[in-house]
Amino acid sequence: MRRMKIFAVISSLPLVVLVLFGIARAAVEFSADVVIAPKGDELMKGKVFAKGDKVRQETTEKDETQVMIIRLDKKVTWTITPGEKTYMEMPYQSPDKTFEEWTAEKAKNAKFVGEETVSGMPCEKFETVEEGEKTLIWIPRQFPFPIKIEDSEIIVEYQNIRTGPVDDSLFELPPGYEKTAATTVLQED
């Protein structure tokens, strides 16, 4: 069950980016590092690139890199495995409700814990409880989306957020890669 939750968080990160910077509404270009720390498991690091309605996320775990590219303009998500020179293509699905914009209503239903600086940005820290699960959320003053989320199983943090030009080639399939069928794999610890 834990592996499924970690995979769900990793798979949803590019969608988080879309909401985080309002990608669909504005032609924002940026890159950031993302650190995923499953408690009791190995740290995963990655990079996120966004340009307009395109997002690329690269994650590395145990020396294996996986790339996910979301192309809203083509209504497609590609999951690329560079080590095998393969990719899967799936229809784009709208963002998970967990990663919706932080609103005044959400703040009203959360407990304000204090203020902290995360990734060099002043943030308000909140605690939410849903189905008995406590989650800490850091919301920067610059935009209404968490740049750090921590619950009993995982910590996800965006770091080194940089705005500026991003190369178009990052959002294309690499030449010579073989398309494979999308399958669902459930792995429990």
Whether residue 138 has pLDDT greater than 90 = yes
The mean pLDDT of 3-27, rounded to a whole number, is: 46
Residue 122: CB atoms within 10 Å: 12
What is the phi/psi pair of residue 106, to 5°?
-65, -40
> How many Å apart are CA 177 and CA 148, to the nearest integer?
34
The per-residue pLDDT for range 41-99, each reduced to its tens digit, is: 888 889 989 888 888 999 887 778 899 999 988 999 999 999 999 999 999 876 544 34
Write down all domains in the chain, each with its CATH number in brackets.
2-177 (2.50.20.10)
Provide the strand spans (E) within the chain.
29-38, 44-51, 54-61, 64-71, 76-81, 86-91, 111-118, 121-130, 133-140, 148-150, 154-163, 178-180
Q: How far is CA 175 from CA 82, 104, 132, 169, in A?
A: 11, 46, 47, 11
Please check whether residue 158 is in contact with residue 168, taking contact to mean a CB–CB distance below 8 angstroms.
no
The per-residue pLDDT for range 157-188, each reduced to its tens digit, is: 989 988 789 999 999 999 999 999 865 444 44
In this structure, what token pair is assigned to residue 145? 């989306």
Q: What is the pTM of this model?
A: 0.70
Of residues 56, 77, 76, 83, the one with CA closest to residue 67: 56
> How many Å apart are CA 58 and CA 17, to the nearest integer?
13
Model pLDDT, residue 8? 45
Least confident of 5-9, 92-96, 100-104, 161-165: 5-9
Model pLDDT, residue 18? 46
The mean pLDDT of 134-147, rounded to a whole number, is: 85
The per-residue pLDDT for range 29-47, each reduced to its tens digit, is: 888 898 988 888 888 889 9
Q: Please report which confidence band the pLDDT of residue 4 belongs to, taking 50, 70 and 90 as the band edges.
A: very low
